[in-house]
Amino acid sequence: MARCNEPETTPPPDYHHLRDTTQASAINRNQDLSRIRVGLHDEIFQGATPVLAGVDAQSTYCYLLAAERHRDADTWGVHLLDAAQQEFDPDYTVADAGQGLRAGQRAAWGDTPCHGDVSGLPRTAWRSTASGKIAPWPR
């Protein structure tokens, strides 16, 4: 424990989390998403904070995981446009009936179909992701 006039020798725990998040974000922004044909989109929550999530249906690669204040069309649209800049152009997506998610996709990608989540497919992918059984992203 540091005395009054001595500097702390270890940074606060938030420092490491922020540093790791910044590094991961930089790596993720450089991924080529062109091979993803089907995107699974959903909103999950960390406490009361919505987290926008996107997973490749084939590999379960998580290409979008963003804690946000809102889950409206503008917020989804910005993230989907960012993914499009990384060559993400899926044949279709699968999502629940979330109004913000669907409106954001329409605004960002126009006619790209968004099929309803009636089979539980996205939930299966989320469970696979949460359990750590994630297929490596093909190079």
- C-alpha dist (Å) from residue 53 to 3, 69, 80, 122: 44, 14, 11, 10
Per the CB < 8 A criterion, the answer to whether 107 and 77 are in contact is yes
Instruction: Tell me if 13 is assigned to some domain.
Output: no
**The domain containing residue 114 runs over which residues?**
38-127
- C-alpha dist (Å) from residue 58 to 6, 22, 82, 88, 124: 53, 27, 21, 14, 12
pTM for the whole thing? 0.71
Q: What is the pLDDT along the chain (139 residues), one digit of tens a residue?
A: 555 555 555 555 555 555 666 676 677 788 999 999 999 999 988 889 999 999 999 999 989 988 899 999 999 999 999 999 999 999 999 999 989 999 999 999 999 999 997 655 455 555 555 554 444 444 4
Residue 33 gets which letter from DSSP? -
Domains: count for the chain = 1
CATH number at residue 95: 3.30.420.10
